Structure 1
Amino acid sequence: MRKSYDKTETEMSENVTRDEASLSVRKADIGAEFGLDGLKGVSIEVPVFDENCQYLVKQQNDYVFDEHMLRHIVSFLGKSSGDALYLYGPSGCGKTSMVMQTAAVLKWPVVSLTINGRFELSDLIGHPTIVSNELVFVHGPLARAMKYGYILILNEIDLADAAELSGLNDVLEGRNLVVIQNNGEVIKPHPDFRMVVTANTCGRGSRGTYHGTQLLNAAFLDRFRFIRCDYMSHDEELKLLELVAPELDAGLLSDMVKVASEIRKSHLDPMPNHIYMSVPMSTRTLVRWATLTVAYSYESDPVDAALLHAFAGRLSEEESSYVLRLKSDVMAGVTDNL
């Protein structure tokens, strides 16, 4: 006999589904809770969940919020108006982490899935499985988020087949999710349910850096708000590095940010004296470079060794040589217009 997975009766229920709806609603003072003066007076209503909910995200104390982006994300979370949110931009610029850390501060549970070329809609809805010799249905991320009012994040959405994604159109319209595999269970979208997708492209595919991205269906894309994300400003990235690698001199950290910026320019809009860089240096990689520099204190040149392992080691010989030379020029103060 097939049973609903929601009534937690088994060990697997305890480990996988301690799902629950919100206990109440509260008014969140965004400026106060995020510590940003520019957002004073901005407030939204957010659901309140049990503090033991397993889908609450751990807050990173060293996370640096982009105030402008935060305002847009908070606006969406506070009132989606029936839309989903599509965040797109270069790899490693913080699309997913921005939403995750916003949810962490607001204590709003998140379920997420990273899409790949073999993605099927059933990955989101769920599947039957055997638990304690009984066949039960395990709800997937979409079904769970819709039922309990969580934030659903789908990463790398532009890697999915457009035909498979069309199965989400009804959900994006605010209609019920019918789970045929679970005896036709009908899941009504919870008022607090939010869907956010991230991608490197805006759904138009890419012939360059982001191989495997797909041209997405216009009807699917018509159901989203689109926000372009980019790398942090110099001052924001410097602030982040000072938090994750306080052992390093502020001047060195500033030079690291300058190197990253020049590499991005060489990727997006190479100048005559720059070679084309096939890969930009993401904020994620920049942080790795700084933390490895601290860890490699035993090296004769920890900055170079860390740069090689964090970034340059995966490049072509020509690009790797250029990056190391660029780093030397920046740190010697001989580059122009940095």
Structure 2
Amino acid sequence: MFDLSSILVVVSYSLCDVFGLDPNEVDPSITVEGFAIPDPATLADPTAAAYAAYLRSAIPPIDLNYQFRKELVRDIRYWWLTGEGDVLLLWGPTGSGKTSVFEQWCARLGIPLFMAKGHRRFEPHEAFGQFVGGENGTTPWVDGPVTLAARYGLPCIINEYDRIAADRTIVFNDVFEGRSFPIPGKSGEVVTPQPGFRVAITANTNLVEDLSGNYGTANTHDISILERIVALHIGYPDDETETKLLEKELEQFSDDLLTYWLDQEGVKLSTQTGIKEGSAISRGEFIAGLVEVARRIRAQSKDGGNTSDAALERTMSTRILRKWARNTLAMAGTPEKLGLSALHLSLKKYLSSLATESTRIALHQAVESVFGVGERVNP
């Protein structure tokens, strides 16, 4: 195999700089290693250029709006430095950022990442590879993401791992042990993982139980798997982090557009200085209202830990919060043109139309209780 040391050029990054952490809270001298893969156009060797192009394409794209949480960076870094023989389980409610935190970790550090996805009918070839039809009647072997990551000494992530039936995860036992493993379906060929190979998995549950009752397709897993895992719970971000995220998300919308929409929507918002209406509401106060709606919905939801019979089966994930906020201002003309609330229309698009009727009502009540506007705005 081609020597990748000239392609995967190790670089030391400042933790604060690369992840945007506050130097008053995190020592700026703390570093973490990543890669700087050269531009293929600068490489004279065509083989090296091909590998560089391929590996650069495997680096996740950077989300400039992403806000890292220092405690997650701390825990992932610790596993990254010390847990090469352990599997990292990122678990938590839907839309909390389980996959994105690891993707953005790799994106900011220039690290190629290989990905597989779990589901009920998962087959080994989806992770390890298979023979495929080629030219002239040939059937060449194509490595899967886990095999590729092991050969290159790079990380891979298996999403929705708890959707795979427990009796189908046996193929990962040797992989999770960090030792050489046979490739299923390839006549006993064995792969010895190169240094740097790591496995992360994501799940909505801790692989043992579903406390929320929301993930009926999740499976429990054998204790032999659990003993190979380092678990990191990914909950929804705190208010400060989500506020920063929404500030970034809404940067594209001007203050003039925001004040126009606030007036047309007829928003009435309780702020620290009292009730404000329309264009008297600042951008920061509007964002605080969005975060408050998310907080109220989560408090009523199963994913938020509500165990009552009336708990909502849907919640306002961080993913949906971003979409809801962005789409609301993208539809700023809706109140004036149609007499309909952009807040409520956007909520229907991304959340309430995919909920039970009782949950739908509760979701819209949460919006109305914070922003003082119903689904139809006053003419």
Give the TM-score of the pair, scaled to structure 1: 0.87
How well do the aligned residues superpose, as a CA RMSD in angstroms?
Answer: 2.3
Residue from 279, 302, 306 that aligns with 2:342: 302
Partner Cα distance (1:84, 1:187) in 2:
18
Residue from 207, 213, 218 that aligns with 1:208: 213
Q: Deviations over 1:15-53 (max 9, x none)?
A: xxxx96653333232122223123322223335544532
Would you say the 8 A contact 1:143–1:177 is kept in 2?
A: no
Would you say the 8 A contact 2:124–2:184 is kept in 1?
A: no
Partner Cα distance (1:48, 1:101) in 2:
16
Q: Deviations over 1:264-321 (max 9, x none)?
A: 111134499x942111110011111011102212211211211121211112222212
**Secondary structure, in 3 states, of the residue corresponding to 1:167?**
helix
Q: Which has the higher contact order (CA 8 A, sep 6+)?
A: 1
Residue from 75, 78, 97 that aligns with 2:81: 78
Q: For residues 48 and 174 of structure 1, do their structure 2 counterparts lie closer, same or farther at Cα, with a shift above 3 Å needed?
A: farther
Would you say the 8 A contact 1:158–1:205 is kept in 2?
A: no
Alignment pair present for 1:41 and 2:29: yes
Would you say the 8 A contact 1:88–1:229 is kept in 2?
A: yes
Q: For residues 24 and 269 of structure 1, do their structure 2 counterparts lie closer, same or farther at Cα, with a shift above 3 Å needed?
A: closer
**Secondary structure, in 3 states, of the residue corresponding to 2:10?**
strand
Partner Cα distance (2:206, 2:187) in 1:
36
Give how far 1:330 is off. 1.4
Would you say the 8 A contact 1:47–1:192 is kept in 2?
A: no
Alignment pair present for 1:58 and 2:61: yes
Residue number in structure 1 paired with 2:313: 278
**Secondary structure, in 3 states, of the residue corresponding to 1:264?**
helix
Give how far 1:112 is off. 0.7
For the pair shown, which has the larger CA radius of gyration, 1 or 2? 2
* Alignment map for 1:111-130 (pairs within 5 Å): 111-130=114-133
Partner Cα distance (2:84, 2:178) in 1:
10
Residue number in structure 1 paired with 2:182: 178
Count residues with an aligned counterpart: 316
Range that drifts further, 316-325 or 277-286 = 316-325
Residue from 224, 227, 230 that aligns with 1:219: 224
Residue number in structure 1 paired with 2:371: 331
Residue from 127, 151, 175 that aligns with 2:155: 151
Give the TM-score of the pair, scaled to structure 2: 0.78
The letter of the residue matching 1:291 is R
Partner Cα distance (2:295, 2:163) in 1:
27
Partner Cα distance (2:170, 2:200) in 1:
16
Would you say the 8 A contact 1:205–1:216 is kept in 2?
A: no
Unaligned stretches of 5+ residues in structure 1: 1-5, 8-18, 334-338
